[in-house]
Chain A
Amino acid sequence: MEPEPDHTKPSTSAAAAGHRKHLAMLERLSKRAAAPAPSQDSPVAAFLSRFAAAKLAAESALSACRSSPDDAQPSLSAAAAAIDDLDRLVAEASHSLPPYELRSALAAASDLRAAHRLAASDLRPKKSFSFRNKSKAPKNPPQDPPPTLPPPPDQPNPSVEAILPGLGFRGRRDATLVKDLRVSDEKDGDFTLADLVSCQVYLKGKCRALHVHKLKDCRVFVGAVFGSVLIEDVERCAFVMAAHQIRIHEATATDFYLRVRSRPIIEDCCGVRFAPHALKYEGIGEDLRDAGLEEETGNWANVDDFKWLRAVQSPNWCLVPEEERLQTIDISDVQEREYDN
């Protein structure tokens, strides 16, 4: 065994001009994308140095597009690519990283993404984001093209946003949002929480399905969902709810206080924690019973991580230690309203 020199620290070309360094970084990044890097002795140090490199690439691309707005488009796409790289790096390394590194890496990546979004919206305020099918170059053109060609599947579609339906809270910041589903006459519907920042959300009563998308720093209290809950892209939140099924995608640093009939699942999550349901309001017993949720199944702790299909405990989730758990919260006195704090 020969002593292994620490060859993982970043190359010390600090003296080089910023621009040249930036180009070098980009080149290195693209090389790495083409061929997976050989495994290193210290995965954490290796990750950190690669992460730092990718981060630098993203930052310098962003600052380049700020300093020269005329030539911003390429820089912007370079930044986007670098940020994607960051995300991928973190995802690849998430299993082997200590929690602190993971969290700070995630925070850095999401900050950069926010900065990129800002820069992009400054540059092209008119162009709105839309999903499209990637039009793949036909690798194997059909030998016998049908006489009538169908219209390409990636033609612009009727805007989905335009038909977004009813009930929900969307696009709010620093607000307290309360809805009592028991007082509305509507039949069982779904409810949507989307694009909320620093909000307190109280939903009393029952609903058939709950969709949650893009929440940051929110606290969400939900009575009973006698169907499924789909939670995507949440950060630093707390959820207290009871439901038949719960799927959680892309959650970071978020706590879930659940009562659930089946096993909750997580996918692409990290730093999520679970605890038993802890919510009270006048009539919640009835709501839970009507929804078939009166029984505590203990499934709040039986989490399946689709990114960790092995027998040993997933590093992406854990239980909330008992001494840290929220006390049962009584929201009886919260009245239906929406107001900005």
Chain B
Amino acid sequence: MGLLSIIRKIKRKEKEMRILMVGLDNSGKTTIVLKINGEDTGVISPTLGFNIKTIKYHKYSLNIWDIGGQKTIRSYWRNYFEQTDGLVWVVDSSDIRRLDDCRAELHNLLKEERLAGASLLVFANKQDIQGALKPSEIAKVLNLEAMDGSRHWQIVGCSAHTGEGLLQGFDWLVQDIASRIYVLE
């Protein structure tokens, strides 16, 4: 029995999914996690380090790792790559000046072997702000079409402020992961 099948077996029993949330600072990662968990998003300090949340989502239990995005701590992202089922890349769609940084960091991340099998959800966040780029525009600037053809990915516009789009995004992500991991159900 290979390691992979052992992991699959364990996960099948617990129906757990490990989700890694990353993205530049100020993109709204923590706000998204709190919002989807129904918590107050009124006072959120920039994340120094990381937060972990376990959220029941349909019949699955999502372990969401929300990792701080400040430049100084981006190099620590790699400490969290292991066994990631789903990758959520959060973009501040109103921060047009830093989209080049955003693209560079994302493509860097996608080169990572340990994340090769993870489904990728790109949240084009802050859609409620006037002047934010549309998800299709974000996809273009981030060059998502250029990704390796084997990657399962989806871009979803959302607003962590209003909650719009968050469930749509997570629905896709959870179903995509489930169809890979729990293929026999």
Contact = CB atoms under 8 A, between A and B. Distances in A.
A211 B98 CA distance: 11
Contact of A304 (B42, B45, B95, B132): B45
A158 B141 contact: yes
Nearest to A260: B45
B78 interface: no
A309 interface: yes
Contacts of A146: 148-150
Interface string A25-68: 00000000000000000000000000000000000000000000
A227 B45 CA distance: 12
Contact of B96 (A165, A186, A244, A265): A165
B167 interface: no
Interface in B97-113: 97, 99-101, 103-104, 107
Interface residues of A, number: 45
Contacts of A77: none
B128 interface: yes
A267 B148 contact: no
A228 interface: yes
B61 interface: no
B45 A263 contact: yes
A165 B141 contact: no
B25 A247 contact: yes
A3 interface: no
Contact of B44 (A155, A165, A262): A262
A153 B131 contact: no
Interface string A219-241: 00000000110100000000000
B41 to A, nearest CB: 10
Contacts of A267: 70-72
A187 B26 CA distance: 21
A158 B131 contact: no
A198 interface: no
Contacts of A306: 48, 70-73
Classify the secondary structure of A's interface with B: loop
A160 B48 contact: no
Nearest to B94: A190
Contacts of A155: 143, 146
A183 B41 CA distance: 29
Given A157-B143, A261-B42, A166 B149 contact: no
Given A131-B100, A230-B26, A167 B131 contact: yes
A213 interface: yes
Interface in A174-226: 186-190, 194, 208-209, 211, 213
Contacts of B131: 165-167, 189-190
A285 interface: no
B97 A211 contact: yes
B129 interface: yes
B161 interface: yes
Contact of A209 (B72, B73, B94, B103): B94
A172 interface: no
A155 to B, nearest CB: 8
B147 interface: yes
A163 interface: yes
A245 B129 CA distance: 16
Contacts of A187: 130
Contacts of B71: 249, 267-268, 306
Interface in A50-107: none
B99 A160 contact: yes
B86 to A, nearest CB: 22
A325 interface: no
B100 A160 contact: yes
Contact of B70 (A208, A263, A265): A265
A158 B137 CA distance: 10
Interface string A243-264: 0110101000000000001110
A213 B146 CA distance: 30
B4 interface: no
A186 B131 CA distance: 11
A274 to B, nearest CB: 15
26 contacts: A131-B101, A133-B103, A133-B104, A146-B150, A150-B146, A150-B148, A153-B103, A153-B143, A155-B143, A155-B146, A157-B100, A158-B141, A160-B99, A163-B133, A163-B137, A165-B94, A165-B131, A188-B129, A190-B130, A190-B131, A227-B129, A230-B95, A262-B45, A263-B46, A265-B48, A267-B71
Complex A-B, nearest 8 residue pairs according to Cβ-Cβ distance, in ascending order: A189-B130, A165-B131, A131-B100, A262-B45, A263-B45, A306-B72, A265-B46, A190-B94
Interface of B: 25-26, 42-46, 48, 70-73, 94-97, 99-101, 103-104, 107, 126, 128-133, 137, 140-141, 143, 146-150, 161
